[in-house]
Amino acid sequence: MKWFQVKEQAAGKKRLMLTWWSYRLFGKRFVQLIALVVSLSAFIFSKQIRQYTRKNLRVLFEATKDSQTKPTLFNMYRLTFNYALSLVDKMEAVAQRYDAQKIIFETDDKKQQLINDIKSGSGVFFISMHTGNIEILRSLIENPQNTVNPRVNIFLSEEQCKVFNDFLKKIQIKTNTATFAIENITPDTGIILKERLENGDIAFMAGDRTSYTNQSSTFSCNIFNKTVEFPKGTFKFAYLMETKIYFICVAKIENDRYYVHLENFKKNEHSRKAEEIARMQSEYVEFWKSMALKYPLQFYHFYDLFSKY
């Protein structure tokens, strides 16, 4: 099963709005209790969730022998519950109710470098992943107190999580955000985004979801002694934008805080295009692997990721 074949299991429009009003009235802890009940129900009744959480944790456990990655029912459910909690956090971030002070960077130098790059007005391209919760970064970037609020361009699936994404659009505070459907990327998309980045915009695109429309455009990697396929398109696209490129992972730690891991891809102007793209792919895969090992219970891939296993 590919990621785009996974059916959305959202609660439905009315129940999502009821959840939002419950949050408004009773606070985040109450909604997290709802997430506990909903995730437990999904875990019990969805064979697919159990199958792929077990499979993915088994791969990580064989690579690390870390007890928290052992594919026990408890750990499998913890992963599912963490995902439900991440949706609550995502709701809070989109509505600009998550405290940006809870977002921590690896070092002050990396944080300042990123801020300087954003303020420079030369554009920044982020290649993200489905470990952790990248949406939480919106609380930092779209903060009304910022001296610079660049437009944020987000690439996401129009078909996947449609109900939940429509819900997020309803509750979000008016922001300088634009979305692109990954199913409809054309040469014009690249032209539009390049112009925007040249004017100081930033963009986010996942590097660990193979193309929905061009399934053969992938490159294979040996990860944890298993074969995983990544999309070629994300890295070609990032290279063509001719701007600063970061690999990024935003993962939850204790006390409702999030930790930002950043890796700046440093271009070599003397290398050929194909060599640079191949090096970008290689460095991203190493970053992706390190984040999967560091946060195995935030490894949100509920499909046949290790398809050759």
pLDDT of residue 4: 46
- What per-residue string of b and e applies to 114-137 under the rule 16 or more CB within 10 Å gives b? beebbeeeebbbbbbbbbbbbbbb
Proportion of the chain in helix, strand, coil states, percent, rounded to 5: 50, 15, 30
Q: How much of the chain, in percent, has pLDDT values that exceed 90?
A: 55
Collapsed DSSP state (helix, strand, coil) of residue 175:
coil
Closest of 198, 205, 210, 184 to residue 247, by C-alpha? 205
How many other C-beta atoms can be found within 10 angstroms of the C-beta atom of residue 215? 12
CA distance 142 to 92: 13
Residue type, 215: Q
Query: In angstroms, rounded to a whole number, what is the distance separating the alpha carbons of residues 221 and 190?
Result: 27
In angstroms, rounded to a whole number, what is the distance separating the alpha carbons of residues 181 and 229? 21
Rounded to an integer, what distance in angstroms lies between the CA atom of residue 214 and that of residue 203? 21
pLDDT recorded at residue 106: 86
Q: What is the pLDDT along the chain (309 residues), one digit of tens a residue?
A: 554 445 555 556 788 889 999 999 999 999 999 999 999 999 999 898 999 999 999 999 998 888 889 999 999 999 999 999 999 999 999 888 999 999 999 888 988 888 888 888 889 999 999 999 999 998 888 776 666 678 899 888 776 677 777 888 888 876 788 888 887 888 899 999 999 999 999 999 999 988 776 666 889 988 988 888 999 999 999 999 999 999 999 999 999 999 999 999 988 888 899 999 999 999 999 999 999 999 999 999 988 888 654
DSSP 98: S
Residue ranges of the domains in the chain? 3-298
* First-residue to last-residue Cα distance in the chain: 13
Taking the CB of residue 101, how many other CB atoms lie within 10 A of it? 9
pLDDT of residue 168: 80
Q: Is residue 298 within 8 Å of 85, Cβ to Cβ?
A: no
Question: What does the DSSP 8-state code read for residue 166?
Answer: H
Task: Tell me the C-alpha distance between 223 and 218, whole Å.
Answer: 15
Q: Which two tokens stand for residue 101?
A: 């002070």
Question: Which of 47, 43, 71 minimizes the C-alpha distance to 57?
Answer: 71
Q: Is 256 left (phi over 0), alpha (psi -120 to 50) or beta?
A: left
Per DSSP, helices labelled H in 65-161 are 73-94, 108-119, 138-141
- In 154-272, where does DSSP find H-type helix? 162-171, 187-198, 232-240
Q: pLDDT for 199-211, tens place per residue?
A: 999 999 999 988 7
This prediction's pTM: 0.91
Per-residue pLDDT, 171:
81
